[in-house]
Amino acid sequence: MTENPDVTAAAERTALAWQRTTIGVLAIGALLVRWSVVERFPLWPGIVLVTAAALASLILVRRRYQRVRAALLAAQTPLSRYLVPGATAVMLVLVAVVGAAMLVEYARL
């Protein structure tokens, strides 16, 4: 069975978009870790972001690629009712927790 190049290209574009997002979160986490070291703040917010982005990159990107590819090969729409909203909710919670932790640290100064 030969695959339609448009199908695999769409799946690859989706995977690349997820990878770009996780790379951005990794960069922000790394900047938070560096900033924490320079300003003598706790390291855990940056480490949490880096860990979450690394796990998302390792697990979610591959799973999403496989799902999109399988759905497109079956001539179905690759909409996800749980993965995208779930990943968005997790990232919003992480950002809120890190922001709250930074506010608490600034309030102590």
Spatial CA neighbour of 58 closest among 90, 89, 88, 15: 15
Q: Is the pLDDT of residue 109 over 70?
A: no
- What per-residue confidence (pLDDT) applies to 35? 84
Question: What integer is the mean pLDDT of 75-104?
Answer: 80
Quickly state the pLDDT bin for 5 (edges 50, 70, 90).
low
Q: Rounded to whole angstroms, how far apart are CA atoms 79 and 10? A: 13
- What per-residue confidence (pLDDT) applies to 4? 67
Q: Which domain holds residue 96?
A: 5-108
What is the tally of structural domains in the chain? 1
Q: What is the DSSP string of 24-47?
A: HHHHHHHHHHHHHHHHT--SHHHH
Q: Is the pLDDT of residue 79 over 60?
A: yes
Residue type, 69: R
**pTM for the full model?**
0.60
Q: Which long-range contacts (CB under 8 A, 24 or more apart) does 41-47 make?
A: 41/102, 41/105, 42/101, 42/105, 44/101, 45/97, 45/98, 45/101, 45/102, 46/98
- What per-residue confidence (pLDDT) applies to 2? 59
pLDDT, one tens digit per residue, over 63-74 is 878 888 888 788
